[in-house]
Amino acid sequence: MRSRFTAFAVGDRDHVLRSWHPRTRPADLALDDEMRWYRLDVESTSGGTPFDTDGEVTFTAHYRIGSEKGSLHERSRFTKYRGQWVYVDGVIA
């Protein structure tokens, strides 16, 4: 989760796509150059231990576009795929 947030924050589109499950990953991804992600608050986690194959993370990610501030609150699902944790999907809360 944190590596995906960092990838969005620095504009690393390739990492965002690599860390996305191929079943749900879009063919392409355009990141908004005007959007500046600056803080991630992880509110809860479920699963995701070395002994699990699935997990969930509820978080709020904060951003700015120019002088406007905003946030994204989401419950994301992750699964292990080929030994790596990957993003499956999320529900905006």
Does residue 93 surpass a pLDDT of 80?
no
Could you tell me the pTM of the whole model?
A: 0.92
Domains and CATH numbers, the chain: 2-92 (3.10.450.50)
Query: Tens digits of per-residue pLDDT, 21-52?
Result: 999 999 999 999 999 999 999 999 999 999 99
> What is the spatial distance between Cα 59 and Cα 25, in angstroms, rounded to a whole number?
20
The average pLDDT across 41-64 equals: 96
Model confidence at 59: pLDDT above 90:
yes
| Coil, strand or helix at 53 | coil
CB atoms within 10 A of CB 59: 21
